[in-house]
Structure 1
Amino acid sequence: MRTLKSALLAGAMTLAGMTATGSAARAENGQKPQYGGSLEIGTVYVTLTALSWDPADFNWKLNHDTGMFYEQLFAGDLSKSKKAGGPYNFVPDAWLPTDAIRGELIEKWEWKQDPLRVEMKVRKGVTFPEKPGVMKKREFTSDDIVFTFNRLNKSPKRLLGYFDHVEKVEAPDSHTVVFYMKHYFAEWDYQFGWGYYSAIHPKEVVDAGATNWKNVNGTGPFMLTDFISGNSNTYTKNPDYWGREMIGGQEYKLPFVDKVTYRTIKDEATYVTALRTGKLDMLENIRWQNVESLKKSAPQLKWNRWLNQSGTFMAMRVDVDGPFKDIRVRRALNYAVNKQEIVTAYYNGNAELFAYPQHPDYAGYFEPLDKQPASVQELFKYDPAKAKKLLAEAGYPKGFTTKVQVCSCNADHMDLLPLVAGYLEQVGVKLELQPMEYGAFLSAMSSRTMTPAYFMNNGHTNPITTIRKSFGTGQMWNPSGWSDPAFDKKIDEVYREPDEAKRQKMLREMTTEIIDKAPYIWLPIPYNYAAWWPWVKNYDGELRAGAVRPAPIYARIWVDQEMKKKMGF
C-alpha cells in the first residue's frame, strides 16, 4: 500500500525538478525566431468581453484576460506539447498532468512533514514594472504571494471551501514561502498554483483599485495598455519580463511580439470573416459549420480540431419544487432526446455522444460509454415510448410546461435548444425559451434565481473539479442544485487520497453514479476548430497552459512579418 509519506516524497521528487522556464522548442523549418509585429486574436472566448480585472472577484474568466500580466506559482510545461515532441495538446481548460507542470514564479518546491507543508523557493530576478500613479518598479518577493493568498482567502466572493485545506502561508524570507497544510489535498497545486483563482498581484494595485484596468500591473510578459469593453483588450510587451526560451539551441528573451490584441466580436459571421480576410491572425474557436467554406476561401490557413472542453446539457433543478425532483422525470427527458441524431444530423458527425462530465483527454479518469453499466448507456438511447411511460408513472401523463434560460452569446446553443425542445414536445413537455445576455445569464445561476431548466456549457475543468463544482452541495457552478451528503463525503475522500490510481478509480465510480441519477439532460459534446495564418510561428493550436490561461503560449509565438507582407496582408 502506498503511504501518504511515499506519495508526498514521490510528488516532491517529480515536481521539484520541474524548474525550467519554458519549453525547449524547435525552430520551425530551421527559421530563427523574429522579434516585433503584433497578433490579432479571436480567442476561445471571442464573444465575451472581460468580466473582471480583480482576482478577488473569483471570476472564472479572469486568467484569460489578466494572465498576460499576472503570473502564477506554476504554469504548463510547453516542452511537453505535441508540437515539441511531447504527449500533450494543451487544450484542456484547466487540467495539467502532473508531469506537465513547471515553476513560473516558483523555481522549486518540496513537500515536508511534521508539520505537513510545501516549501517553495521564489524565482529571483522577477520584477513588477513601473506603473505611473500606481507603483514604482520593484522586485517580486514571497510577501506578494502571502498577500495574494490572504486577500483571496478573505474575499467575500471566495468559492465555498476553496482554500480550507491550507492552515496558513508564511514567508520566512524574501525568496521562500511555506504553505502549511491541514491535511493532504489532491489539488493543492491547482487551487492556488495554476488554477482559476491564483493570479499573484501586488498590494499597490489593490490600493490603487484592482477593479480598474488602468491600475493593473504584474510580472508577466505583457502589460495591459488599453481596454474597450465589448471590443478589445490590448497588451504590449513588458520590457522587464524575466522569461527566456531555448529554441534551436539558442536562448531568446520573451516575448517575441510587441503587441497582442484580443478582439471581442459577438457576431459569428463577423469573426469568421475577420479571419478569412486576415484581420485576425488566429481564431481559436470555430464551429464545424464554417470550416469547409473557410478551407475553400482561405486555403493557406492551418488547422487544429479539438473536442470542446465544456459539457453541453440542460440542467434540471432539484432544489426547488417541481417535476425535476423525480428521477423518473429526469430520466424520461433523457430518453426523449435523440442524441445520436444530434451527433449525425445536427453536428454532421463533429461531436462525441458521450464526453462529459469527464473528458476523454483525462487518461485514467474517463471511462467510455460502452464500459458504463446498462442504466447509464440507456440514457443515451432514443426511446420516446419509455419516456412517456415514465412521465405517466411520475404523475405527468400529459407532460408539463417549464421555462428554460439560455445564453444568447452561444450560437450553438441558440440553434440546439429549439431542437431539444422539439424532441421534448413529442412526449408532452413544452419548454418556454428565455435567451439572456451573458452577464444576466451567469447572475441568474450565481444568485439561484434561474428558471427550473437551465441550458448551458460547464467547463470540464479537471478530473476532480468537474465533479466537485457541478454536483457538490452549495457550489456556485451546480445549476441543478444537486445535494447529497453521501456524495459530498466521497468528494472529500477523493481530495484526501494521495494515490492517483486510487483517485482515478474513485472518480470513475462517482462519475457513473451522477450520470445515472440524471440531474441533466446529457447532450453530445461538439468538436471545435482553431485556425491561424502561416505567418504565425511556434504555434500548433495550443489553447491553455493553465486554467483558461494562454499567455505562456502567446509569449512564445513570433510573426513572420515578411511572409505576411508577401501574402498581401
Structure 2
Amino acid sequence: MKKLSVPIISLLLILSLLVISCESETTEKVIEDEGDDKVIITETETGEKITETVQQPGMRDPSEPKYGGTLIALGGDPQGFDAGIMQSIMITETRIMNEPLIIGDWSKGPAGTGELDWQLGHMQSMSYMRGALAESYEMPDDETIIFHIRPGVHWWNKAPMNGREFTAEDAVWSLEREWANPKCWPQASNPPGQRLISVEALDKYTVECKVPPEVQGLLLLYNGWYIQMLPREVVEMYGDMNDWENVVGTGGFMLTDYVTSSSLTYSKNPDYWSNDPVHPENPVPYMDKVKLLIISDSSSQQAAFRTGKTDMLANVSVEDWQLFTEQNPDLNYTPTLPWIPTFPCGRLDKDLPFNDLRVRRALNLAVNQAEILEDYYKGHGAMLGYPFVPSQSMSDVYVPLEEMPESVQELFTYNPDKAKQLLADAGYPNGFKTEMAANPAEVDLLSIIREYFLAVGVDMEIKVFDFGAHFGMKKGRTFSEMIMADTYPYGFPNMHNVRPESASCPCSWGSDESRVAYNTVQQYLCKDDEKVRQAVKEVVPHILDNAWGVWLPIRNLYWMWWPWVQNYRGETNFGHISTHLYRNYIWVDEELKEAMGY
C-alpha cells in the first residue's frame, strides 16, 4: 500500500514572499540587512523579484499564519455548478467546494520543500500528491485500484446532506455518474476499452475500481484527482446541482452568495477536515471569506487592482506589469507561462499542402520566431514552448532548444529562401492559398504570421469566429484548413496532440514513434516515473521535427498580488486543473492592508 502521508515541514521565516522563475537567468544576489524589520534582495536583470521579506515596524511577521480576513479577487460567471454533467475543466471554481479523492501536496511547493512551483500542475508523479477524501490508495494488481476513504470527513451542515459523513458509497456514486456522461471529460477523452470497467464499495471506507490494465495509471489519475465528489441526495432532490443555492460539498469554502455578473462569495467551512501540510498543527482555511468580483472589462479589472479594491490580478501582460511595478514597487509578482500554448496547424486528414513535411517545415522557416519573441513579446517568454514549457514543474521532461538535434533547431531559424525552395520542391513554386479559422484574441498575432507567409508565397486568409463557434470547430475538427491548435503540456499522459483519435488533435497528426511513446507512458504511469520521463524525452525531438504545427515562441504573463496576501508565491494549480485550492492555505493580513491605506 502506498500511504499518502503529509510530511511536517517548517516554513523558514525569511521566506515570506518568495517569487521564483526557473526560466529566467539571475544575476548575483546582493543582500542588504536593515535590522529586524526588513530584508532586501536585488532583482534579476529582467526585473523579477527573487526574495523579499516585508515586515514593517509594528506589523506582524508575514510568515506568521493569520486567521480571519477576506480575499478579494476576480472571477467569472460559472457555466454551472454540477461537475458531473459537463466538462468540469470549464467550471474550476467548484473544486474548492467539491473535492477529489487525491490532491497535490502543498508542502512540495514554494511554501515547503520547493520541489515544484505549483503553477502548471505537475508531471503526474504520485510522489507529489497527497490524500484528500481518500487518505491512501493501492494497486494490488494491474487491473485494480483501491481507494481508502478518510474517516471523519463530513458534508457541509446544509440540507439535504446535514453534515453526514462522506463514505465509500458517495465516491462510487460520483465516479459512476461522471463516467456515464458522454459530455464529461473522462468518457470524452478515453475511447471504449480505456474506460472505468466497474466500481464498488467494499465497505464504508474502501472503494475498488476495476480498470483496463493498459491504462491503469491514467485511470488512477482520472478517478483520484480529476473527478469531483458530489452529493447524491442533492441530485436526487433537484435533478442536478446546477443551481448555486443547492451546492453542497466537503471543501474548505462554501458558496454563500452569487449575484450574476457581479460577484461570488465563499465562506469558511468551520468543519473542514484538513490541516495545513506545512503547519500541520493549524486547521485550514485561514481566511473567513473569499469574494470574487465579476468584472469583464480589462481596464476596470486593472483599476480595481491598482486601487486595492482587489488583492490579486492574473495574466498581466509585460507592458502592464512594468507599469504596475513602476507605479507601486510594493506589489509582489511572479512570471508564469501559458497553460495552453497555441500554434498554427493545417489539417492532415484532407488533401491539402500540409500533408507534405516539406511544406510544414517551410512554414516554420518562413516565420521569424526570434523577432516575435523580442518585438511582440518584449523579450519576456521562451523560444521553445512545446510539447512542454520551461517551468519548474516540467523540468524533468523539458529539453532546451540548444540540446535538440540540428534538424529541430533549424525550425527555429528564419530562412525564407530555404522556405521558398522547400515549397517549390513540394510542388508549390508559387506558393498556395489557405484559410485560417481564428477567434478574436488570435487576430493580432496571426496578422503578423500572415505577413511572414506572404513573403514566401503563402496567402493565408484569416476568418474570425466567435469564441464558442471557434472552440466547437477545433474540437469537432470542422474547420476548413488551418486553426490555432491548443496544446496540453499539463495533461501529457493522454498525449492528445499526437493521437488522431483525440478531439484535441485538430491537425490529425500521429506516428508510429509517438504511439510507442504513448503506450509506454500508459504502461508505466504512476508506477515507474523514470521510464515515463525517458519515453517522453526521447520522443519530443521526433514530434518537433515533424513540424505538425508552426512552432512559435510563448510569452510570459504575470501574476500580481498586494503584500497583505501572504503565504502565497504565485501558486495557481496543484493537481490536475486544481485551480483555487491554494486559497485553503494562504492568509490575509488585514492590519497591514489598513496600515497601507486600503
For 2:374, which of 337, 344, 347 is the aligned residue?
A: 344
What is the CA-CA distance between 1:560 and the residue it aligns to?
A: 0.8
Name the structure 2 match of 1:6: none
Q: Which amino acid aligns with 1:549?
A: S
- Secondary structure of the corresponding residue to residue 529 of structure 1: strand
Partner Cα separation in structure 2 for residue 94 and residue 85 of structure 1: 15
1:244 correspondence with 2:272: no
Q: Mark the CA change 1:442 to 1:94 in structure 2 (over 3 Å): closer, same or farther.
A: farther
1:259 correspondence with 2:305: no
Q: Mark the CA change 1:79 to 1:293 in structure 2 (over 3 Å): closer, same or farther.
A: same
Partner Cα separation in structure 1 for residue 488 and residue 262 of structure 2: 24
Alignment of 1:500-515 (within 5 A): 500-515=529-544
Partner Cα separation in structure 2 for residue 365 and residue 533 of structure 1: 33
Q: Which amino acid aligns with 2:342?
A: T
1:124 correspondence with 2:133: no
1:149 correspondence with 2:178: no
1:67-119 deviation line (CA, Å, top 9, x unaligned) = 11010111111111123243211111454543221001111222313x74233
What is the CA-CA distance between 1:395 and the residue it aligns to?
A: 2.9
Identity percentage of aligned residues: 33
Q: Which amino acid aligns with 1:225?
A: T
Partner Cα separation in structure 2 for residue 533 and residue 288 of structure 1: 18
Name the structure 1 match of 2:32: none
Partner Cα separation in structure 2 for residue 239 and residue 407 of structure 1: 44
Alignment of 1:427-442 (within 5 A): 427-442=456-471
For 2:565, which of 536, 555, 559 is the aligned residue?
A: 536
1:177-199 deviation line (CA, Å, top 9, x unaligned) = 1223431533343222123xx11
For 2:437, which of 393, 398, 405 is the aligned residue?
A: 405
Q: Which amino acid aligns with 1:87?
A: E
- Secondary structure of the corresponding residue to residue 208 of structure 2: strand
**In the alignment, is the contact (CA less than 8 A) between 2:106 and 2:277 conserved in 1?**
no
Name the structure 1 match of 2:311: 281
Q: Mark the CA change 1:25 to 1:416 in structure 2 (over 3 Å): closer, same or farther.
A: same
What is the CA-CA distance between 1:227 and the residue it aligns to?
A: 3.8
- Secondary structure of the corresponding residue to residue 296 of structure 1: helix
What is the CA-CA distance between 1:356 and the residue it aligns to?
A: 0.9
Partner Cα separation in structure 2 for residue 247 and residue 515 of structure 1: 40
Alignment of 1:52-451 (within 5 A): 52-59=80-87, 61-62=89-90, 64-93=92-121, 95-113=123-141, 116-132=143-159, 134-157=160-183, 158-161=187-190, 164=194, 166-183=196-213, 185-195=216-226, 198-207=227-236, 208=238, 209-228=240-259, 231-245=262-276, 251-360=281-390, 361=392, 362-408=394-440, 410=441, 413-451=442-480
Q: Which amino acid aligns with 1:405?
A: A
1:258-298 deviation line (CA, Å, top 9, x unaligned) = 22233444433332222211122011321112111100112
RMSD between aligned alpha carbons? 2.6
What is the CA-CA distance between 1:25 and the residue it aligns to?
A: 4.6
For 2:68, which of 3, 15, 36 is the aligned residue?
A: 36
Partner Cα separation in structure 1 for residue 535 and residue 369 of structure 2: 28
- Secondary structure of the corresponding residue to residue 138 of structure 2: strand
Partner Cα separation in structure 2 for residue 554 and residue 480 of structure 1: 38
**In the alignment, is the contact (CA less than 8 A) between 1:404 and 1:434 conserved in 2?**
yes
1:497-529 deviation line (CA, Å, top 9, x unaligned) = 343222222212322222122111111111221
**In the alignment, is the contact (CA less than 8 A) between 1:407 and 1:437 conserved in 2?**
yes
Name the structure 2 match of 1:19: 5
Moved more, 216-225 or 263-272: 263-272
Q: Which amino acid aligns with 1:117?
A: T
1:102-149 deviation line (CA, Å, top 9, x unaligned) = 001111222313x742332211111111444x5433211111111111
What is the CA-CA distance between 1:326 and the residue it aligns to?
A: 2.2
Name the structure 2 match of 1:557: 586
Q: Mark the CA change 1:95 to 1:102 in structure 2 (over 3 Å): closer, same or farther.
A: same
Q: Mark the CA change 1:102 to 1:25 in structure 2 (over 3 Å): closer, same or farther.
A: farther
Name the structure 1 match of 2:523: 496
Partner Cα separation in structure 2 for residue 122 and residue 21 of structure 1: 19
Alignment of 1:456-495 (within 5 A): 456-465=485-494, 468-484=495-511, 487-495=514-522
Q: Which amino acid aligns with 1:568?
A: G
Q: Mark the CA change 1:155 to 1:476 in structure 2 (over 3 Å): closer, same or farther.
A: same
User: TM-score with structure 2 length normalisation?
Assistant: 0.84
Name the structure 1 match of 2:57: none
Q: Mark the CA change 1:525 to 1:31 in structure 2 (over 3 Å): closer, same or farther.
A: closer
- Secondary structure of the corresponding residue to residue 464 of structure 1: helix
**In the alignment, is the contact (CA less than 8 A) between 1:303 and 1:529 conserved in 2?**
yes
Q: Mark the CA change 1:210 to 1:473 in structure 2 (over 3 Å): closer, same or farther.
A: farther
What is the CA-CA distance between 1:230 and the residue it aligns to?
A: 5.1
1:279-328 deviation line (CA, Å, top 9, x unaligned) = 22011321112111100112211111123332231122212332222222
**In the alignment, is the contact (CA less than 8 A) between 1:340 and 1:353 conserved in 2?**
yes
Structure 1: 5+ residue stretches without partners = 1-11
Q: Mark the CA change 1:486 to 1:99 in structure 2 (over 3 Å): closer, same or farther.
A: closer
Partner Cα separation in structure 2 for residue 503 and residue 61 of structure 1: 25
Q: Mark the CA change 1:369 to 1:311 in structure 2 (over 3 Å): closer, same or farther.
A: same
Q: Mark the CA change 1:543 to 1:563 in structure 2 (over 3 Å): closer, same or farther.
A: same
Partner Cα separation in structure 2 for residue 271 and residue 261 of structure 1: 14
1:157-204 deviation line (CA, Å, top 9, x unaligned) = 222426826442221111111223431533343222123xx1111222
Q: Which amino acid aligns with 2:539?
A: M
Partner Cα separation in structure 2 for residue 414 and residue 264 of structure 1: 26
**In the alignment, is the contact (CA less than 8 A) between 1:70 and 1:200 conserved in 2?**
yes
Moved more, 87-96 or 516-525: 87-96
Q: Mark the CA change 1:495 to 1:246 in structure 2 (over 3 Å): closer, same or farther.
A: closer
**In the alignment, is the contact (CA less than 8 A) between 2:81 and 2:91 conserved in 1?**
no
Partner Cα separation in structure 2 for residue 23 and residue 439 of structure 1: 45
**In the alignment, is the contact (CA less than 8 A) between 1:354 and 1:525 conserved in 2?**
yes
**In the alignment, is the contact (CA less than 8 A) between 1:22 and 1:245 conserved in 2?**
no
Moved more, 336-345 or 499-508: 499-508
**In the alignment, is the contact (CA less than 8 A) between 2:513 and 2:539 conserved in 1?**
no
Q: Mark the CA change 1:24 to 1:231 in structure 2 (over 3 Å): closer, same or farther.
A: farther
Q: Mark the CA change 1:434 to 1:238 in structure 2 (over 3 Å): closer, same or farther.
A: farther
Partner Cα separation in structure 1 for residue 218 and residue 12 of structure 2: 32
- Secondary structure of the corresponding residue to residue 431 of structure 1: strand
- Secondary structure of the corresponding residue to residue 217 of structure 2: coil
**In the alignment, is the contact (CA less than 8 A) between 2:263 and 2:292 conserved in 1?**
yes
Q: Mark the CA change 1:524 to 1:191 in structure 2 (over 3 Å): closer, same or farther.
A: same
Structure 2: 5+ residue stretches without partners = 17-60
Q: Which amino acid aligns with 1:334?
A: N
Q: Which amino acid aligns with 1:561?
A: E
